[in-house]
Amino acid sequence: MAGKVFFSVTMSLDGFMAPEAVPVEDVFSPEGQNDPRVQRWMRKWSELQAWAFPQRFFRENLKLGEGGEEGLDNDIAWATHERTGASVMGKRMFDAGELAWPEEAPFHTPVFVVTHTRREPWERPGGTTFHFVNDGIEAALDQAREAAGDRDVRIAGGAETILEYVNAGLIDEFSIALSPVLFGSGIRLFEGVDADRVALEPVRAEPTQWVTHLTYAVRER
């Protein structure tokens, strides 16, 4: 039996998944670190993700060192990773990750990148191989389903790619770690959602010291 298609992201209290877009090469270049736009982006991003990086799972998976917090936040992060048999992402997320991820990319499963750029599969240590899909979101999902087998497929991001899958009726479930920060502007997770098509069914709400984890099943109206 095929697994679910889901996404799991952190969102600000006012609905933003990321700060305003800045060129990824600026964010991750030594020269860009003195750019006020980059400094503002990094500050807001760090505030949004403040719940995640102290967790033991994230520290181990991103090679940030030993130790870390254990508890519900850590359990949810670990369970999300364990249920994922393959991931799908957009080209912008891949471009940023290619600069930021450690050599052993943190997926440890096949990843399918929706892109117009033709490129041979890119294999990384630790079990992650990036495959570049040039014929749309459904083709990428078909390949991810096959690779995942009985496990779930995660639509990793970014917001535009997630929204494409939501509006196409291809998402079964999603989780949001609702972070108690306000952005005021940036990249909204649900900007342009087809609200006439998409209905949500609450599954669970799990508050912690850091965030509130909200899970919804997606139904077609």
Separation between Cα atoms, residue 205 and residue 29, nearest integer Å: 38
Q: How confident is the model at residue 221 (pLDDT cuts 50, 70, 90)?
A: confident
Separation between Cα atoms, residue 94 and residue 132, nearest integer Å: 10
Q: Which two structure tokens, joined as six digits, stand for 182?
A: 């306000």
Helices (H) and strands (E) in the chain, counts: 7, 11
The pLDDT assigned to 192 comes to 95
The answer to whether the beta carbons of residues 115 and 108 sit under 8 Å apart is no
What percentage of residues in the chain have a pLDDT greater than 70? 98
Q: Which two structure tokens, joined as six digits, stand for 89?
A: 């992402």
The pLDDT assigned to 38 comes to 85
Q: Cβ of 152: how many Cβ atoms within 10 Å?
A: 21
pLDDT tens digits, one per residue of 17-56: 999 888 777 777 777 777 888 888 889 999 999 999 999 9
The answer to whether the beta carbons of residues 170 and 140 sit under 8 Å apart is no
**Sequence spans of domains, the chain:** 5-220
How confident is the prediction for the chain on average, in pLDDT? Answer: 93
- Which conformational region is residue 157 in: left (phi greater than 0), alpha (psi within -120 to 50 degrees), or beta? left
Give residue for tokens 């998976």.
61
Angle between helices 159-167 and 137-148 (to 10 degrees): 90
The answer to whether the beta carbons of residues 179 and 24 sit under 8 Å apart is no
The pLDDT assigned to 4 comes to 97
The pLDDT assigned to 191 comes to 94
Residue 1 has pLDDT above 70, yes or no: no
- Which conformational region is residue 31 in: left (phi greater than 0), alpha (psi within -120 to 50 degrees), or beta? alpha
One-letter identity of residue 170: L
3-state secondary structure at position 211: coil
The pLDDT assigned to 22 comes to 80
Separation between Cα atoms, residue 8 and residue 78, nearest integer Å: 12
Separation between Cα atoms, residue 92 and residue 25, nearest integer Å: 11
The pLDDT assigned to 37 comes to 86
Which pTM value belongs to this model? 0.93
Fold of 5-220: Dihydrofolate Reductase, subunit A (3.40.430)
pLDDT tens digits, one per residue of 149-204: 999 999 999 999 999 999 999 999 999 999 999 999 999 999 999 999 999 999 99
- Which conformational region is residue 126 in: left (phi greater than 0), alpha (psi within -120 to 50 degrees), or beta? left
